Structure 1
Amino acid sequence: MLADGLHDVPLGKIATVVTHLEMRARADISGRAAPEGWTLRRVENPSLGWYRRIFQAVGEDWLWFSRRGLSDDALAAIIHNDDVAIWTLSNGDTDAALLELDFRQRGECELAFFGVTPTLIGTGAGRYLMDVAIDQAWSRDITRFHVHTCTLDSPQALGFYRRAGFTPIRQQIEIDDDPRVAKGFDHELAPHVPLLLP
């Protein structure tokens, strides 16, 4: 348990507030359509290269790094699991979204990763994808649909999840290596997160 007050974060590390949210019954969906010219595509057995590219395209500005450090075997074990389902939005040869549902915990579904590239921000793609996520999650025999977001994500993320029907249930502080230091990410990424070099 953290005591009240300020706590120093070591140089080269980042601290984030993680909010866990859940949905205990299927929420209403908006009935929104995909943005004009874009098609929902289920990505069966995605190649590691494709997954890494879309993960980076969607999450790099927000310092998503958890999957980028995984070995090929570790990543394949997750994304090729029969209980993990992945979708994207496609326009011709361009993919610009990541929706990943994880059903590996019996009776539950985790919205493991969710986002669109800057190309689709403001087009309604996010709300459409959330409708897909809710529909697909509750099409299985689950009692809980859950997600977590953090202060590295878009400032709109928490409100977006709440409007979609998720309820915040828990908060945590997470401290980890800053990927701009430890993993060689571009130092210009995520200007909303101060870079403190060791």
Structure 2
Amino acid sequence: MLEPGFHEVPRGMVATIVTHLEMRQPANTGPVSNDWVFHRHHHASPDWYRSIFSNVGRDWLWFSRLHLSDDDLTAVIHHPDYELWTLRIDGVDLGLIELDHRTPDACELAFFGVTPQMVGKGAGRAMIQHAIARAFTRNISRFHVHTCTLDSPQALGFYIKAGFTPIKQEVEIAPDPRLTGYIERDAAPQIPVFA
């Protein structure tokens, strides 16, 4: 357990506060718009997946999937209890929804976000409605997600407004993916690099 006070983060690392949230029954998020097209990917290639993952998550230092081998990544995204969805506009994938049903009685919103050009256009609301509806098509008692202080500043409030309840926080320290080569060095300029 961390003691109260300041704790220095080693050089080459990034630190973040992670907030875990859950939903025990489907939230009423209002009328669902049919203006958005969602596409489910059953057999996505690792290269395609890494591209959409990076396009959505680069500004927030998403890196956890980028170091996986093709076999390890395929084992996740092709698992029968894993749903990989994209928001598709004019044939281009501009949003990512990942629903992980591999734990009995639960669903994790493993990854969720839009590409920079979709921020502020209402896509997030439509996507979370789709995610909630899909999660509760199975007999689950818990739909959960986590967000962190590296994510968009709006993320935590967005999840709470969508009906999730914060349940705990953690501190995470990880190697900075801009220094390990998983993400371009100029990504996420709002987060300082301490080499």
**1:58 to 2:71 alignment:** no
How far the C-alpha of 1:92 sits from its partner, in A, is 2.7
For residue 109 of structure 1, what is the amino acid of its counterpart?
A: C
TM-score (norm 2): 0.96
In structure 1, what is the equivalent of residue 82 of structure 2? 84
* Partner deviation per Cα, 1:102-130 (whole Å, 9 max, x = no partner): 00000000000000101211111100000
For residue 151 of structure 2, what is the amino acid of its counterpart?
A: D
* Partner deviation per Cα, 1:69-95 (whole Å, 9 max, x = no partner): 100111011000000001111123311
TM-score (norm 1): 0.95
**1:71 to 2:53 alignment:** no
Change beyond 3 A, Cα 1:21–1:184: closer
In structure 2, what is the equivalent of residue 12 of structure 1? 12
For residue 15 of structure 2, what is the amino acid of its counterpart?
A: A
- Contact kept in structure 2, 1:34 and 1:124, CA below 8 Å: no
Once residues 158 and 65 of structure 1 are traced to their aligned partners in structure 2, the CA distance between those partners, rounded to angstroms, is 19
* Partner deviation per Cα, 1:103-161 (whole Å, 9 max, x = no partner): 00000000000001012111111000000000011110000000000011000000000
How far the C-alpha of 1:184 sits from its partner, in A, is 5.1
| Runs of at least 5 residues in structure 2 that lack an aligned partner in the other structure | none
| Runs of at least 5 residues in structure 1 that lack an aligned partner in the other structure | none
How far the C-alpha of 1:187 sits from its partner, in A, is 2.2
For residue 108 of structure 2, what is the amino acid of its counterpart?
A: E
> 5 Å matches for 1:89-128?
89-128=87-126
* RMSD between superposed Cα atoms in Å: 1.2
Q: Secondary structure at the match of 1:104?
A: coil
* Partner deviation per Cα, 1:26-72 (whole Å, 9 max, x = no partner): 1113224255xx52111122111211110000000111000011001
Once residues 26 and 91 of structure 2 are traced to their aligned partners in structure 1, the CA distance between those partners, rounded to angstroms, is 33
For residue 33 of structure 2, what is the amino acid of its counterpart?
A: A
Query: Percent of aligned pairs with the same residue?
Result: 54
Q: Secondary structure at the match of 2:10?
A: coil
Q: Secondary structure at the match of 1:159?
A: helix
Which stretches of structure 1, 4 residues or longer, exceed 4 Å deviation after superposition? none
Aligned residues: 195
* Partner deviation per Cα, 1:140-191 (whole Å, 9 max, x = no partner): 0000000000011000000000000000001000001001112253222112
